[in-house]
Structure 1
Amino acid sequence: MPIFNIQQAQALSEKIQHLDWTLILEQLNQQGFSQIENFLSDDLCELIKADYHHENLYRKTVNMQRYRFGEGEYKYFRYPLPHLLQLLRTQFYPYLVPLANAWFENLNIQRQYPTSHEAFLKQCQQVGQDKATVLILHYQQHGFNTLHQDLYGEVFFPIQMVIVLNQTNIDFKGGELVMTEQIPRAQSKAMVLQPNKGDVLLFTTQFRPKKGTHGYYRVNMKHGVSHLTEGERYSLGIIFHDAAS
């Protein structure tokens, strides 16, 4: 399996830079998610998947059934992260910061996120959050993930990302990404998405502001994965804050 080389890193950095960030941020603001199609090549998806059984890369493995999180398995990478994952985490972050800060300002929450990811991780470390949260998830037939939020501690970033590493209706069936939006004093709204291999999905970690007649209010969101009916599904989760454990 080839390694992630300098030329690939440069090409990926340029791809991130030239994304339509105006549209992406507007979609995140209006609906709580944005899907970026055909972002990661098949080769890079396979490169990430190929590392699944290299146990030295991971600090922790979680059996979802044991903790009643669902049915499947996920593994947290340890520091230092593989270069490809480090690049994705640090180079997406600065484009999301303006929206994150606007959300917190609209909700009158006293937090300002720094422009660099390195500076943000120092804020995490100051409250004892120093464990990597980038993870790879693996589901087989009948696997699923219950609705949840990836917070991990006092300090969190309000947007995260998922990249699906294999192809729906070829490698697996079912396994849709499900998001719910809880509007105060109303029923929950469900959104069901099925990204293709290499697609990036950016979405709300915990909540987003929504403008009403009396100003902004908080809309809470959760996400999960529906039952796989066939095959196996791999995905990469990139959470921008670190964990306490």
Structure 2
Amino acid sequence: MDLTLDWPRIAADLDATGCAVTPPLLGAADCTALAALYDDPAPFRSRVVMARHGFGRGEYRYFAYPLPDPLPALRAALYAGLAPMAERWRLAMGGAGEPFPTSLDAFLARCHAAGQAKPTPLLLSYGPGDYNCLHQDLYGPHVFPLQATILLSAPGRDFEGGEFVLTEQRPRMQSRVEVVPLAQGQAVIFAVNHRPVQGTRGIYRVAMRHGVSRVRAGLRRTLGIILHDAA
């Protein structure tokens, strides 16, 4: 899949706020088809009911390998566009760990060699009153620092409320909150764990967390594209 995106603009937005919104990556028909997969357990390896674990309310399913179309191409294209930014962030935050390879296959081979072999792309489903607590998607020592969420439902038609929320915990300062409105098919790309910030005395790192505010009505389904696999 060739994602024709303005990667320099995305990089600038990520540097400025820790998130960037894309034009629609999926058409309405593809969004509807992917959202409908949630009701068939066959493509998935596990189901998580958030309330059982204190994660919020709602639920999600992790896909099994092989991933259904268009996920493999979408995941690979997002990785290829984001890998230069991930490497730049790694160096800015001290250069710990190995350089990020240019291809998703090479990065996943590294994850799998370390025992992180479970696929992490997932579908999330929220009904009235459901929400997702602030969290980070960390599944082992190998972490790609950026991920994406694609809104599959149409706001205002399929659901109300349910805004994507990102918080930034700055050292010795109050947390900053970013609310990101999305249209059907749009993605928000955001920092998984930490991001570098240029301060008056050099670069420092801030911790990022993301979640979803309460859905007031309807059914909200999203596709999560995490680029590292899980142990």
TM-score by length of 1: 0.92
Answering whether residue 152 of structure 2 is matched by residue 175 of structure 1, we say no
Partner of 2:220: 233
Q: Gapped runs of 5+ residues in structure 1?
A: 1-12
Q: Which amino acid aligns with 2:68?
A: P
Answer with 155-164 or 193-202: which moved more.
193-202
Q: Are the aligned partners of 1:168 and 1:194 in contact in 2 as well (CA < 8 Å)? A: no
Answer with 90-99 or 140-149: which moved more.
90-99
Partner of 1:106: 92
Q: Percent identity?
A: 43
Partner of 2:203: 216
Q: Gapped runs of 5+ residues in structure 2?
A: none
* Among candidates 140, 143, 163, match of residue 127 of structure 2: 140
> What CA RMSD, in Å, does the superposition of the two structures yield over aligned residues?
0.9
Partner of 1:85: 71
| 1:52-71 correspondence runs (5 A) | 52-71=38-57
How many corresponding residue pairs? 230
Give the Å deviation of 1:239.
0.1
Q: Which amino acid aligns with 2:109?
A: K
Q: Which amino acid aligns with 2:125?
A: H
Q: Which amino acid aligns with 1:118?
A: D
The CA distance in 1 between the partners of 2:114 and 2:202, in whole Å, is 32
The CA distance in 1 between the partners of 2:25 and 2:85, in whole Å, is 21
Give the Å deviation of 1:25.
1.2
Partner of 2:6: 20
The CA distance in 2 between the partners of 1:55 and 1:33, in whole Å, is 31
Give the Å deviation of 1:195.
0.5
Answering whether residue 119 of structure 2 is matched by residue 128 of structure 1, we say no
Partner of 1:40: 26
The CA distance in 1 between the partners of 2:157 and 2:220, in whole Å, is 10
The CA distance in 1 between the partners of 2:25 and 2:137, in whole Å, is 23
The CA distance in 1 between the partners of 2:95 and 2:134, in whole Å, is 25
Answering whether residue 28 of structure 2 is matched by residue 74 of structure 1, we say no
Give the Å deviation of 1:91.
1.1
Answering whether residue 181 of structure 2 is matched by residue 203 of structure 1, we say no
* Among candidates 77, 87, 96, match of residue 82 of structure 2: 96
* Among candidates 154, 172, 175, match of residue 185 of structure 1: 172
The CA distance in 2 between the partners of 1:81 and 1:203, in whole Å, is 22
Give the Å deviation of 1:83.
2.3
Q: Are the aligned partners of 1:141 and 1:231 in contact in 2 as well (CA < 8 Å)? A: yes
The CA distance in 1 between the partners of 2:179 and 2:88, in whole Å, is 27
Runs of 4+ in structure 1 displaced over 4 angstroms? none
Give the Å deviation of 1:19.
1.3
Give the Å deviation of 1:124.
0.6
Give the Å deviation of 1:39.
2.4
